[in-house]
């Protein structure tokens, strides 16, 4: 995965990211529990290509929008216990997507750190603020999952959105907040999601997914060469 590492300061070859970091910002996470089995790959410097299969149609649609508007390349295959309900599948995909995003950002030098978006969709509007709040700069790959879960960071979710429908299709709208909480905690991101107005539940949720993706994409953007932290660590 790190085929371009060790080339800092040298002329980048064709295989290196066009976004100037010498390390490809990609990750693959496989997670299996008694409730879900997930394989997810993420390239945060992608083009919005996605292949999503969670068994939950509306959720797939939202994740495809997420990939497209964040310009992430994202593949997700999840086999979950959707005969029970969709809760485990949605929450666990949030966990793994969060871990993948954090892993893509192991090296935070030069990233913008903050991202903001206003995303209208017809009558609905989502405002999102994201901060890549904490994590580790240099970590042992084998210990990565353990370390990121143990680190005392400051991930947080603020979620202010009301849905007039309890379900969209057969997707329970209360799972939107569950998904983004799972994401934020595992991505080590402070995420504020506010929906000041909107009527159609499908539109509101889609605006949120697009808006979060846009804010995360901006926060991860490399635009400098310094680590934006007075603590010296992010």
* Minimum distance of Mn ion from residue 136's CB (angstroms): 37
- 145/165 with CB nearer Mn ion: 165
Which CB sits closer to Mn ion, 161 or 187? 161
Minimum distance between the CB of residue 58 and Mn ion, rounded to whole angstroms?
9
In the window 168-227, what residues touch Mn ion (CB under 5 A)?
A: 206
CB closer to Mn ion, 63 vs 111: 63
Q: How far is the CB of 61 from Mn ion (least distance, A)?
A: 6
Contact 3, 25 (CB under 8 A): no
Number of residues that bind Mn ion (CB under 5 A): 1
Shortest separation between residue 177's beta carbon and Mn ion, angstroms: 19
Q: Which residue's Cβ has the minimum distance to Mn ion? A: 206
Q: Give the gyration radius of the chain's Cα atoms.
A: 17
d(CA 191, CA 181): 9
Task: Determine the Cα–Cα distance for residues 180 and 50; give it in Å rounded to an integer.
Answer: 19
Q: Which is nearer to Mn ion, 21 or 206 (CB)?
A: 206
Dist. CA 42–CA 44, nearest whole Å: 6
Q: How far apart are CA 119 and CA 18, in angstroms?
A: 27
Closest CB to Mn ion among 170 and 223? 170
The torsion defined by the Cα of 28, 220, 187 and 2, in degrees rounded to 10, comes to: 30
Q: Which two tokens stand for residue 181?
A: 């909480």
Binding site for Mn ion (CB under 5 A): 206
């Amino acid at each position: 995965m790190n085929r371009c590492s060790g080339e800092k300061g040298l002329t980048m070859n064709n295989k290196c990211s066009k976004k100037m970091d010498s390390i490809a910002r990609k990750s693959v996470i496989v997670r299996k529990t008694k409730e879900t089995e997930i394989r997810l790959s993420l390239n945060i410097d992608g083009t919005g290509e996605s292949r999503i299969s969670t068994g939950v149609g509306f959720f797939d649609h939202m994740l495809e929008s997420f990939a497209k508007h964040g310009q992430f390349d994202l593949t997700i295959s999840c086999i979950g216990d959707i005969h029970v309900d969709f809760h485990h599948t949605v929450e666990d995909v949030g966990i793994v997507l969060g871990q993948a995003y954090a892993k893509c950002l192991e090296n935070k030098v030069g990233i913008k750190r903050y991202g903001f978006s206003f995303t209208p969709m017809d009558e609905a509007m989502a405002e999102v603020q994201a901060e890549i709040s904490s994590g580790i700069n240099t970590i042992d790959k084998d210990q990565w999952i353990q370390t990121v879960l143990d680190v005392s960071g400051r991930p947080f979710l603020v979620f202010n959105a009301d849905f007039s429908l309890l379900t969209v299709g057969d997707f329970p709208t209360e799972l939107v907040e569950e998904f983004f909480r799972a994401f934020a905690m595992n991505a080590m991101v402070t995420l504020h999601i506010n929906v000041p107005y909107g009527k159609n539940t499908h539109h509101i949720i889609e605006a949120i997914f697009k808006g979060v993706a846009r804010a995360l994409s901006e926060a991860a953007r490399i635009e400098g060469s310094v680590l934006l932290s007075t603590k010296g660590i992010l």
